[in-house]
């Protein structure tokens, strides 16, 4: 039986909803720098340092509007059959709490998500109501990211896009077969793929809201899917639908249902699952910033990326005919294919060689681990 708080005040609700917001790791996917990871504010709320779709980073106030959910997603601890404290924030409560943080300069924007209460559009009405009050009544012109609820109507989706700086609808898995292992409630095409395509039409070139950013997220490992399946979908999301960012959240063992189908198919070591997440983020960078295509990624016999070797180096080892790359004449495209070289270093190479010939790796600066790796793939 679900535990019910009869008349919780706003602070009690935020305690519960902030705690439950920890299960969504889309904004806490960072690097080894602890400063980039989510943390509790002084009054116990989750504050999320995030990398913005357009580049740069800042701090968002992120909360669930409700942890009541009618869905049955087996990877999610908030699913309908769980015995837990349930509550919801009202429109006024959410607006007032956010504005208090914003006016004290604790955050720069708002990230709103929610469990699916009753019907998708009923939940969207509350999310949209908060954004509408901020935009129209409070004249807030800053950053608002709204999560789109799977199954939402076209009208609700368009209104959410109109009011937002960014929107996202989690794709969750690569393909209907994988989603069917995790949920009996959701129809993959109707509830997820078609809405993602609609958002793309609204926000893409020629759309009504081209300045609004669109992102999505995969849950990694819950359905027993392979990395190859995820990467293939990534290619389509970027190349055909024009998404700005794709995020990945490793399935957190022990939070899902006992009979989750993917349990036996993913690595037993939770650190391996986190490494899978990290490798997929590396692939994401290769697709977005390095000129790689999804079909160029290298997978093992099980369809997964190497846990030991990063994806760019795996590609380089399979293509020895492309190396060594002549550092003084190679194009930016070819330099970005060199393991250990990123966009910043490549730009520095292109700038330096305008004035002098590069004769050794030390000409680029003190050779750390990445430059030492790159040296083996370069010709001076």
pLDDT of 309-330, one tens digit each?
Answer: 999 999 999 999 999 999 999 9
Q: What is the pLDDT of residue 262?
A: 55
Question: What distance, in Å, lies between the first and last C-alpha atoms of the chain?
Answer: 70
Confidence of residue 353 (pLDDT cuts 50, 70, 90): very high
User: In the numeric block, which tokens belong to residue 139?
Assistant: 């004249």
Does the pLDDT value for residue 70 go beyond 50? yes
Phi, psi of 313 (to 5 degrees): -70, -35
**Cα separation, 340 vs 359, whole angstroms:** 18
Confidence of residue 20 (pLDDT cuts 50, 70, 90): low
Phi, psi of 64 (to 5 degrees): -80, 135
Range of lowest pLDDT (19-33, 101-115, 129-143): 19-33
Range of lowest pLDDT (12-21, 65-74, 258-267, 362-371): 258-267
Q: pLDDT tens digits for 202-254?
A: 999 999 999 999 999 999 988 989 999 999 999 999 999 999 999 998 887 66
CB 115 within 8 A of CB 64: yes
| Prediction pTM value | 0.85
- Work out the mean pLDDT of the chain and round it to a whole number: 84
CB 162 within 8 A of CB 203: no
CB 5 within 8 A of CB 228: no
Residue 26: HSE in the Cβ half-sphere, 13 Å Cα cutoff: 26
Percent of the chain with pLDDT over 90: 61
* Widest pairwise Cα distance in the chain: 74
Q: What is the pLDDT of residue 30?
A: 40
Three-class DSSP labels, 209-223: CCCCEEEEEEEECCC
Please list, in sequence order, all residues whose beta carbon lies within 8 angstroms of the beta carbon of residue 177, skipping any fewer than 6 positions away: none
Please list, in sequence order, all residues whose beta carbon lies within 8 angstroms of the beta carbon of residue 103, skipping any fewer than 6 positions away: none
Domains and their CATH numbers in the chain? 3-308 (3.20.20.70), 319-379 (1.10.150.320)
């Amino acid at each position: 039986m679900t535990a019910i708080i009869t008349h919780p005040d706003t602070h009690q609700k935020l305690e519960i909803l902030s705690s439950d917001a920890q299960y969504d790791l889309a904004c806490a996917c960072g690097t080894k720098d602890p400063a980039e990871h989510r943390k509790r504010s002084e009054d116990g709320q989750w504050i999320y340092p995030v990398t913005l779709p357009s580049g740069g980073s800042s701090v968002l106030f992120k909360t669930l509007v409700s942890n009541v959910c009618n869905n049955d997603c087996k990877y999610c601890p908030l699913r309908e059959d769980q015995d837990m404290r349930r509550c919801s924030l009202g429109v006024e409560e959410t607006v007032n709490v956010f504005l208090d943080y914003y006016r004290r300069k604790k955050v720069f924007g708002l990230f709103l998500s929610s469990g699916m209460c009753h019907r998708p559009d009923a939940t969207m009405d509350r999310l949209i109501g908060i954004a509408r009050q901020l935009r129209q009544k409070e004249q807030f012109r800053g950053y608002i990211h709204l999560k789109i609820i799977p199954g939402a109507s076209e009208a609700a989706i368009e209104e959410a896009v109109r009011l937002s700086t960014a929107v996202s609808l989690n794709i969750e898995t690569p393909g209907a077969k994988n989603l069917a292992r995790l949920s009996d409630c959701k129809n993959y095409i109707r509830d997820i793929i078609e809405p993602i395509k609609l958002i793309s039409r609204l926000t893409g070139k020629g759309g009504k809201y081209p300045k609004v950013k669109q992102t999505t997220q995969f849950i990694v490992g819950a359905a027993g899917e392979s990395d190859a399946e995820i990467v293939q979908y990534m290619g389509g999301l970027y190349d055909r639908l024009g998404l700005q960012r794709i995020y990945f959240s490793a399935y957190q063992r022990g939070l899902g249902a006992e009979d989750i189908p993917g349990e036996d198919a993913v690595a037993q070591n939770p650190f391996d699952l986190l490494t899978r997440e990290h490798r997929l983020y590396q692939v994401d960078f290769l697709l977005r910033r390095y000129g790689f295509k999804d079909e160029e990624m290298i997978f093992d016999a099980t369809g997964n990326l190497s846990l030991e070797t990063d994806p760019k180096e795996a590609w380089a080892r399979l293509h020895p005919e492309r190396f060594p790359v002549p550092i003084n004449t190679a194009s930016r495209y070819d330099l970005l294919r060199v393991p250990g070289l990123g966009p910043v270093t490549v730009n520095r190479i292109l700038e330096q060689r305008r004035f002098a010939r590069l004769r050794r790796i030390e000409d680029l600066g003190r050779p750390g681990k990445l430059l030492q790796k790159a040296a083996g793939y370069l010709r001076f």
